[in-house]
Amino acid sequence: MIKTILLFFLAACFFTCKRSAIKNKLSESDSLVITFNVPNSDAVTRTVSAVEKNAIRKVIGFVNGRETEKLKCGHDGNLIFYKDGKEILPVVFKYREKNCEHFLLEVDGKLIHTKMSGEAVDFLHSLELGKTWY
């Protein structure tokens, strides 16, 4: 019983540390640019930028989701986080295809795929349509 609890605790710490690495990397961001692409292309259809700290934190929370397996679904756009005008981290995302909603980023030399929540899908869809709410 004690071994099971200890194993569960260590696993929880492991997954918490993974998510913390993403938050730590992005926490100093002071601006964000979101680009929406023609599906599976680099042609940009819309660009949205944000400098409001609460909005940036919200997006960081979306990216800091549960780690998932590598998905080969293409991409719909990018989130590019900045600090003092310098790029901190680009994040690729896919949200238009059911069961492929995810973020892809590299932290400390490791590619990480995180699951996109339904709220994040709704948020990105609203932004792409030009709305300022979701």
pLDDT at 123: 95
The pLDDT tens digits of the residues spanning 67-95 come to 998 888 889 999 999 999 999 999 999 99
Report d(CA 33, CA 50) in Å as an integer.
Answer: 6
Report d(CA 88, CA 2) in Å as an integer.
Answer: 42
pLDDT at 18: 47
pLDDT at 7: 46
Residue 34: pLDDT band with limits 50, 70, 90? very high
Report d(CA 100, CA 95) in Å as an integer.
Answer: 7
**3-state SS, one letter per residue, for 23-88:** HHHHCCCCEEEEEEECCCCCCEEEEEEECCHHHHHHHHHHHCCCECCCCCCCCCEEEEEEECCEEE
pLDDT at 72: 83
Structure tokens given for 41 = 């292309």
Residue 111 has pLDDT above 60, yes or no: yes
Residue 132: pLDDT band with limits 50, 70, 90? confident
Predicted model pTM = 0.81
Percentage of residues of the chain with pLDDT beyond 70: 84
Rg (CA), the chain: 16
pLDDT at 93: 95
Contact 59, 95 (CB under 8 A): no
